[in-house]
């Protein structure tokens, strides 16, 4: 996809506030600090479209951005952010599950993982929801620049085994050197294809 224009549309916590219209959607999910904002900003060639989870506020909402006239990019709240009050944390589950279960426009979810970490329960919950609601998972393993080739191979085995997916289903990415940018777009384009 050639990104010409990306525009913030609105934030929402519940279906009544989701944008109207029937643009297809691709959502981005991952634990706080995983590199979600960095990935999105690289994809749409912007320095600061999406705020990082170190600035709470808009980060606990579902944020909708329109890309060209092609699709809606949906930034889901990062999970596991330590400084978020418990009441807000409790809202995360129903907010996420409602969006994933009810949103007809949703074509795929980019699940972002840190190459240095073993996927945790929240990551597995997210993947389980995607499977339960038949939403295509696009699994992006980011911060690849931080590991050597050998370490990458080892972590690839750990991550694919923990998730129960094929190694070929992982797309490797680095916001630092932009490795994998085209590969991530190819997966998004495929999920958007009618």
Residue ranges in contact with ligand GDP by CB under 6 A? 30, 32-38, 52-53, 78, 142-143, 145-146, 174-176
Q: Cβ 88 to ligand GDP, closest distance in Å?
A: 15
Distance CA 2, CA 43 (A): 10
Nearer to ligand GDP, 133 or 172 (CB): 172
Strands of the chain, DSSP E: 6-12, 25-30, 62-67, 71-75, 106-114, 136-142, 170-172
Distance CA 47, CA 41 (A): 6
Nearer to ligand GDP, 136 or 176 (CB): 176
Q: Cβ 35 to ligand GDP, closest distance in Å?
A: 3
Nearer to ligand GDP, 135 or 144 (CB): 144
Q: Cβ 6 to ligand GDP, closest distance in Å?
A: 16
Nearer to ligand GDP, 37 or 63 (CB): 37
Computed over its alpha carbons, how large is the radius of gyration of the chain? 16
**Contact at 8 Å (CB) between 75 and 26?**
no
């Amino acid at each position: 996809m050639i990104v010409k224009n990306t525009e913030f549309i609105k934030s929402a916590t519940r279906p009544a506030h989701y944008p109207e219209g029937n643009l297809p959607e691709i959502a981005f999910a991952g634990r706080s600090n995983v590199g979600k904002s960095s990935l999105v900003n690289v994809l749409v060639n912007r320095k600061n479209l999406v705020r990082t989870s170190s600035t709470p506020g808009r980060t606990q909402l579902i944020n909708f951005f329109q890309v060209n006239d092609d699709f809606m990019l949906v930034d889901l709240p990062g999970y596991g952010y330590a400084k978020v009050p418990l009441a807000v944390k409790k809202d995360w589950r129903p907010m996420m599950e409602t969006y994933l279960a009810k949103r007809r426009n949703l074509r795929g979810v980019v699940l972002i993982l840190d190459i240095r970490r073993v996927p945790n329960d929240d990551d597995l919950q997210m993947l389980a929801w995607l499977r339960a609601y038949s939403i295509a998972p696009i699994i992006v393993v980011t911060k690849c620049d931080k590991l050597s080739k050998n370490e990458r191979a080892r972590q690839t085995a750990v991550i694919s085994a923990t998730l129960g997916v094929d190694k070929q289903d992982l797309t490797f990415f680095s916001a630092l050197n932009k490795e994998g940018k085209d590969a991530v777009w190819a997966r998004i384009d495929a999920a958007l294809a009618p």
